[in-house]
Structure 1
């Protein structure tokens, strides 16, 4: 099955196994609030929940359904840090910036677990993820990666090589792995649905099928939908790749990208145990990486690849199934029950974009494939800055973000050319 084109959830494994949740009403008429959040994905729900806990009155506007976008379609892996790690940040932006961002690199993970515990969210949380090296160069880099993360306080790391590797992932593709025992994986749609329910218990209001069609900047801000409007003192733009031109200034330095996922039929505990014996999530170390894990009912969820510009391939299974079989050839006769795609937002430097427009429109976007944890951090930082504590938010907001070379016209072909270069390097192991 492919992704749905409507405003209902994509026909994914996650949507098929989502916890029961009500449809929220469309916004009709005018309402006022302290903060209006645009987008009901992880960034929006994290922001709304942190703000509601601090006593702000919050209204959330969602163009489709809660978790419709990348937050409800992703690989479900709790991966620490950012798409570019602290060594790259230090080399490009200096030691002080690296320390500031490094101090927060593992916080999003902790926030997720706090939310699950505090609000009793049922989302199939499992512990542990690992990074798998496909060649000697990547294995050497993983050793350096362990040292780097330990410098920033993560001491739950373990290197595996040779026969030790089969303890966690049984595949001839990999030569070694770095296990992060503090990481994990979960059902992402059920997480964001649980967070939405938590927002409502604190008095927050969520309106689905309520796309923002105009933002009238000022003090206060007025946000118009097809049948209503919200007047808010402050705004959080949390639409990421789904803003659809509402604020063009947020789209000039980013690019939507598509990624695809398939999910097998249930494998049974015995077969599943021969793939991932301890039920950890895995991502490889290639530039265009593969990522996979087991679901709660022992299906293999396998994703990979990037389509620049966000276009969907005609046949998702035909794209991803060969990748799965290169990793686990013993699954040749296993049926694929679900196949879908999703769009995430990439920045040129692969670091998230935080900022503020006219002193009262805050935004956080462009997580570049590492959004599950960083979105949850973003919500906390947005709540902090609205309370007058801006130091941590500004550590991200001060990062320089340049437009893609060639502008909007050439950003897709030039990015695809760059990806070809790195894919060739991965294949050659150089």
Structure 2
């Protein structure tokens, strides 16, 4: 047998709820739907299908939540990585109206899952967007009006004075509070959803990397030790899919992001940083994001490495960011530092679609994966039940390869990021 692949050395892995090890697939079995990947996309899809009575098999190459789903910042950020005004400008009013009607659904699905299955994942409501300058504050004002048009009326603009009630940092001139946002322990959410799938009869196999798909009327998914014959396949590998489905690799690029977590600060000290415990992200192009964990640590993330991977020292990279935000934490001990890859698309919009009649996929959330993955699973389940209008709206979005192909896409994208980073620094 191949060596067991464990979770990265993250805060989430160290504080994960107890969960059984799932055995690898070692036989030939049948399913209505075979899901490749036990991250949020795959788990959401499998749970919606299992609830609807489908026979579902999930194949995971490593552990449940091994990739971005178990490593991310844990923030429930609404809408998409390109907001609804960009969608309307490039794709028209009707497309914006359709996608806008779903822009806040992913976070609602997560809250519903937590309540229905009593998932212990440190959920806290509320998210803050914070502005460094007048341009960013103007953008937040427009964002509030835009999201209100699409049904989110639970937002409040904060000037510098009122922001101080929510965040004890002098870096920002104001912010926007979204009460329909929030934050979670993402790995524990994934583990809770996996248990929910199994409660409905679904099967999950770990250490079961898919090595080949035989396409056809009844596709067959092969691992090293077994195979699944299914009516439908759902491909949900995202940045960790590799070249299993070559046509999905051409129009996306893995990108790394990094996170540190401090020692336990205690509730009193934690509330001296973020008094009401909302999660926070700034408005820069290469943004920082942070929050207080369930055991009162500061979790702080940021940065992008195009093409994937991590800087030489995650701690050295992120410490200046954290200490600029909270000078009162200068020299604080970091207990955990880790990185992971998310999948970026050229448009920054997710890629949904079908290959032939029976292979579905959803990927490329471009940094907005926690909520949109949960929406994706619901839409795929709807499509397999014959209600494909909402899924087809996403699949109609056009996607293009990165300039320079796979060899040059990372440096070309990094050059563009340098430009936007300079704009952020100059406040332009």
**Given the alignment, which residue of 344, 347, 350 partners 1:349?**
347
**Given the alignment, which residue of 317, 320, 332 partners 1:322?**
320
1:86-125 equivalence runs, <5 A: 86-125=84-123
1:237 equivalent in structure 2: 235
Say if 2:132 and 2:173, in contact at 8 Å, map to a contact too: yes
**Given the alignment, which residue of 129, 132, 135 partners 2:130?**
132
Superposed CA deviations along residues 80-126 of structure 1, whole A, max 9, x for unmatched, are 01000100000001000000000000000110011001111000000
User: Is 1:162 matched up with 2:150?
Assistant: no
Say if 2:166 and 2:274, in contact at 8 Å, map to a contact too: yes
2:195 equivalent in structure 1: 197
1:294-305 equivalence runs, <5 A: 294-305=292-303
Structure 2: distance between partners of 1:175 and 1:353: 35
Structure 1: distance between partners of 2:312 and 2:427: 30
User: Is 1:16 matched up with 2:14?
Assistant: yes
2:77 equivalent in structure 1: 79
Superposed CA deviations along residues 288-339 of structure 1, whole A, max 9, x for unmatched, are 0000000011100000000000021121101111110110011013100000
Say if 2:309 and 2:339, in contact at 8 Å, map to a contact too: no
Say if 2:10 and 2:336, in contact at 8 Å, map to a contact too: yes
1:424 equivalent in structure 2: 422
Say if 2:253 and 2:307, in contact at 8 Å, map to a contact too: yes
Give every structure 1 segment of 4 or more consecutive aligned residues whose post-TM-superposition deviation is greater than 3 Å. none
Instruction: Name the SS of the counterpart of 2:164 in structure 1.
Output: helix
Structure 1: distance between partners of 2:250 and 2:41: 20
Structure 1: distance between partners of 2:220 and 2:281: 42
Structure 2: distance between partners of 1:101 and 1:408: 29
Q: CA deviation at 1:6?
A: 7.0
Structure 1: distance between partners of 2:354 and 2:157: 41
1:181 equivalent in structure 2: 179
The alignment yields a C-alpha RMSD, in angstroms, of 0.8
Instruction: Name the SS of the counterpart of 2:272 in structure 1.
Output: helix
Structure 2: distance between partners of 1:40 and 1:426: 36
Structure 2: distance between partners of 1:207 and 1:109: 27
Q: CA deviation at 1:182?
A: 1.1
2:291 equivalent in structure 1: 293
Superposed CA deviations along residues 153-185 of structure 1, whole A, max 9, x for unmatched, are 000000111211111111111110000011100
**Given the alignment, which residue of 273, 278, 281 partners 1:280?**
278
Superposed CA deviations along residues 132-170 of structure 1, whole A, max 9, x for unmatched, are 001110001100100000000000000111211111111
Structure 2: distance between partners of 1:67 and 1:216: 26
Structure 2: distance between partners of 1:305 and 1:242: 19
Structure 2: distance between partners of 1:307 and 1:146: 30
| Unaligned ranges ≥5, structure 1 | none
Instruction: Name the SS of the counterpart of 1:213 in structure 2.
Output: strand
Q: CA deviation at 1:244?
A: 1.4
2:371 equivalent in structure 1: 373
1:396 equivalent in structure 2: 394
Q: How many residues align?
A: 426
Summarize the Cα distance change of 1:427–1:6 in structure 2 as closer, same or farther, 3 Å threshold.
farther
Q: CA deviation at 1:269?
A: 1.6
Q: CA deviation at 1:270?
A: 1.9
Say if 2:4 and 2:207, in contact at 8 Å, map to a contact too: no
With the length of structure 2 as denominator, give the TM-score of the two structures: 0.99
1:409 equivalent in structure 2: 407
